[in-house]
Structure 1
Amino acid sequence: MASEHRSRQMLILNRLSVARWSSAIGALALLIAIVALLAGGELSPLVVISALIGMGGLALWMTLAPSDFRNTLTGRRAVHGSNSVLIVLLFIGIVVIVYGMAARSGIAADLTSRGYYTLKPNVRPIVEQLSRPIQITAFYSRRLLTNQALESPILRLFSDAAPQKIRLVYADPDAQPLLASQFGLRSAYGIFVSYLNAEGEPDPNFTVQVKTARDRLPNLPVEEDYVNERWIAEAILQLEARGKFRVLFSVGNGELNLDNDVTGIRDGMRAVGIQVATLDLSREGVPQGTTALIILAPIRDFTKEMADRVAAYLESGGKVLIMAEPAYRSDIRFLQSPQSPLAVYLWEKWGVQPNRDIVFDPLSYNETQYYVRAAQFLEGHPIVQKDQTGTAARPLFPIAQSWRVAEKPPADVSVERIYLTSAQAFGKLDLREVARNPDRAIREAADLPGPLALVVAAENTRTGARLLLVGDADWVTNDLIVAFDGQILWTNMVDWLVAFLERITVEPIAGQLPLSVPSGDLELTAFITVGVLPTAILLVGLWVWWRRSRR
Structure 2
Amino acid sequence: MQAPHETLRARAASWASVIGAVSLVLAGLIYLLGGELSIWVFASVVIGVAGVGFWIWGAPGEFQAWMAGRQTRYGTTSILVTILFVGFVVFVYLLVDQRNITVDLTAPQKYSLNRPTLDAIDRLSAQDYRVRIVGFFSNDALREQESADILLRQYAAEGNGAIEVKYVDPNEQPDVALRFGYQSGYDGDLFLEILEASGETNPDALPLYLGEPDERNITTGLLTVASAGTFKVYFTTGHAELDVSRTDEVGISRLRVSLTDQGIIVEPLSLMEVADTGIPDDASAVLIVGARTRFNEAEVQLLADYIERGGRVGIFTDPPIIDTVSTPTNTFLEEGSPFAEYLLSEFGIAVKDEVVIETRSTLGSEYAPIVDQVGTHEILSGVQNVQIVLYFARPMEIEQGTVTSWVRTPLLYSSEASFGESDLEGLRTEMQPEYSVGEDTPGPLMMGVAVQRSVEQQSTVQPRLVIIGDSDAFSNEFQTTDFMGDVLLWSDTIDWLTGFSQTVSFSPITDPTRLALIVSDQQRRNIAYITMLWLPGLVLISGGLVWWVRRR
TM-score tier, shorter chain, comes to: 0.7 to 0.9
What letter corresponds to residue 277 of structure 1 in structure 2? Answer: E
Once residues 93 and 366 of structure 1 are traced to their aligned partners in structure 2, the CA distance between those partners, rounded to angstroms, is 71
Quote the residue 1:405 is aligned against. Answer: 398
Contact 1:426–1:449, Cα closer than 8 Å, also in 2: yes
Aligned pair 1:313/2:306, yes or no?
A: yes
Secondary structure of the structure 2 residue equivalent to 1:348: helix
Q: How many aligned positions are there?
A: 504
1:316 CA displacement: 1.7
Q: Is 1:341 the counterpart of 2:333 in the alignment?
A: no
- What SS does structure 1 have at the residue aligned with 2:273? coil
* Residue 354 (structure 1) aligned with residue 351 (structure 2): yes
Q: CA deviation at 1:283?
A: 1.9
Which amino acid letter does the alignment assign opposite residue 485 of structure 2? D
Which residue of structure 2 aligns with residue 253 of structure 1? 239
- For residues 29-49 of structure 1, give each alpha carbon's deviation from its aligned partner in whole angstroms, at most 9, with x where no partner exists: 123213443x4583255xx31
Q: How does 1:277-426 map to 2 (within 5 A)?
A: 277-284=267-274, 285-328=278-321, 329-330=326-327, 332-335=329-332, 337-362=334-359, 366-378=363-375, 380-386=376-382, 391=384, 393-423=386-416, 425-426=418-419
Distance 2:447 2:432 in 1: 20
| 2:27 paired with 1:33 | yes
1:122-521 equivalences in 2 (<5 Å)? 123-130=114-121, 131-133=123-125, 136-155=133-152, 158=155, 162=158, 164=160, 169-173=165-169, 185=182, 189-193=188-192, 197-199=196-198, 205=205, 208-212=208-212, 227-260=213-246, 261-284=251-274, 285-328=278-321, 329-330=326-327, 332-335=329-332, 337-362=334-359, 366-378=363-375, 380-386=376-382, 391=384, 393-423=386-416, 425-461=418-454, 462=457, 463-481=461-479, 482-483=482-483, 485-507=485-507, 509=510, 511=512, 513-518=515-520
Q: CA separation in 1, counterparts of 2:403 and 2:289?
A: 25
1:26-175 alignment, distance < 5 Å: 26-37=20-31, 39-40=32-33, 42-43=35-36, 45=38, 48-56=39-47, 70-72=57-59, 75-80=60-65, 84=71, 85=77, 88=81, 108-111=103-106, 116-119=110-113, 123-130=114-121, 131-133=123-125, 136-155=133-152, 158=155, 162=158, 164=160, 169-173=165-169
Structure 1 counterpart of 2:491, which letter? T
Measure the CA separation in 2 of the matches of 1:229 and 1:242: 20
Judged with a 3 Å threshold, the aligned counterparts in structure 2 of structure 1 residues 11 and 170 are, in CA distance, closer, same or farther, namely farther
Code of the aligned partner of 1:108: V
Deviation at 1:239, TM superposition (A): 3.8
1:293-346 deviations in Å (ceiling 9; x for gaps)? 111111222233322222222122111111222222447343355452322322
Higher mean displacement: 459-468 or 483-492? 483-492
- Checking the alignment, whether the CA contact within 8 Å between 1:132 and 1:195 is kept in structure 2 is no
Q: Report deviation, 1:52.
A: 0.7
Question: Contact 2:132 / 2:194 at 8 angstroms: preserved in 1?
Answer: yes
Is contact 1:194-1:239 (8 Å) kept?
no
Separation (CA, whole Å) in 1 of partners of 2:61 and 2:9: 21
Unaligned runs of 5+ in 1: 1-8, 213-226, 545-551
Aligned AA (1:465) = P
- Residues 431-490 of structure 1 show CA distances to partners (whole Å, capped at 9, x for unaligned) of 222222252434143334444322122223444211111222223222234448322322
- Shift of the 53–381 alpha-carbon distance from structure 1 to 2, 3 Å rule, reads closer
Deviations 1:11-56 (A, max 9, x none): 998898667645532342123213443x4583255xx314314424
In the alignment, residue 348 of structure 1 is paired with which amino acid?
S
Going from structure 1 to structure 2, the CA distance change for 1:397 and 1:185 (only over 3 Å counts) comes to closer
Deviation of 1:118 (Å): 3.7
Distance 1:175 1:80, change over 3 A: farther
**Shift in alpha-carbon separation, 1:61–1:369, aligned structure 2, 3 A:** closer
For 1:493 and 1:196, the matched residues in 2 are separated by 30
CA displacement, residues 221-247 of structure 1 (integer Å, 9 cap, x when unaligned): xxxxxx444443443444444433322
Change (3 A) 1:56 1:539: farther
Cα deviation for residue 292 of structure 1 reads 1.3
Aligned partner letter, 1:171: Y
Distance 1:59 1:471 in 2: 86
> Within 2, Cα distance between the matches of 1:58 and 1:43?
19
